Amino acid sequence: MAEATKKAFVTGHPIKHSRSPRIHGHWLAEHGIDGSYEAIDVAPEAFADFLAGLRANGYAGGNVTIPHKEAAFAGVASRDHAANEIGAVNTLWFEGGTLWGGNTDAHGFAANLDDYAPGWAGNGPAVVLGAGGASRAVIHALKQRGVRDIRIVNRTLARAVELRDRFGAGVSAHGPAATAELLRDAGLLVNTTALGMQGNEGLPADPALLPGHAVVNDIVYVPLETPLLAAARAHGLKTVDGLGMLLNQAVLGFERWFGVRPKVSAELRALIVADLVPKP
Ligand code: ATR
């Protein structure tokens, strides 16, 4: 008997703008795998039932995005180390009959910097702008990669303090007034705030305050070149856009569901970049 088609999904609310089906669809075709990856809109009140029905509905697993990452964290039977550290689950899979939840955002973040700014982890103190869910994944990755001085800056200081307490040694919390002083000797600046996103134009910090060897990364990827990255580039600094984090976080889920570790190729990136440009 032929093996059944392997099914995976991304769920969120809303979900129609997700790029994940294109990414996984590209890899399924590239590897000639008999599989599917669909976007499923699930309202928050229906999420627990959705999780409970995954196995009966024949899914090998899937991705979870806003606003379900915390509910997925609470709803799985087992979690990997990254999910526990970050407090959110973005990837689901089964081991035996057990539903596992993992978090691949930190891997995506670090792999993106490895691709475009090799050696980044040894570049000096890191300034992280923002203290939401994305910031937690970034801080976990920085700690994993041995960055010893991590400076969280957030509009709402209390949220930065919460993360400092969560992640402990080597992590400090600051309000925006401290930014200039914190940037002066930083080797890495990461924006995880919504500032700079399409429709929310603005500069979350002035990259001209950084030393010349600093790397600037925005995890926002629409637009691909955010005002922060444009200003950093104009100042002669090395910049890394956020698309590579999205592409790299997808790798580990695909491997779990379909059994092949896919590559983040120039062709895949071009395919998704073309999709970011609004069609006339
Ligand atoms: P995510 O899960 O994507 O990180 P989030 O939890 O909503 O999203 O966090 C958004 C982050 O962007 C927060 O750090 C938020 O600052 P506050 O904690 O003060 O709300 C930050 N943010 C959003 N809009 C901002 C703005 N206009 N200026 C500065 N920071 C902003």
User: Which residues neighbour 200 within 8 Å (Cβ) at sequence distance 6 or greater?
Assistant: 194
Query: Three-class SS of residue 164?
Result: helix
**For 197-211, how does the pLDDT look when each residue is reduced to its tens digit (9 = 90+)?**
888 888 999 999 999
Closest residue (by CA) to atom 26 of ligand 1? 195
What is d(CA 70, CA 184) in angstroms, rounded to the nearest whole number?
Answer: 35
- pLDDT tens sequence across 118-168: 999 999 999 999 999 999 999 999 999 999 999 999 999 999 999 999 999
Architecture of domain 6-103+247-276: 3-Layer(aba) Sandwich (3.40)
Q: Domain boundaries in the chain? A: 6-103+247-276, 106-241
pTM summary value: 0.96
Any ligand 1 atom below 6 A from CB of 194: yes
6-103+247-276 and 106-241 share one fold: yes
Positions in the chain short of pLDDT 50: none
Out of 7, 69, 263, 279, pick the active-site residue: 69
Ligand 1 atom 24, closest CA: 194
Contacts of 175 (CB under 8 A, 6+ apart): 153, 154, 155, 157, 160
The fold of 106-241 is Rossmann fold (3.40.50)
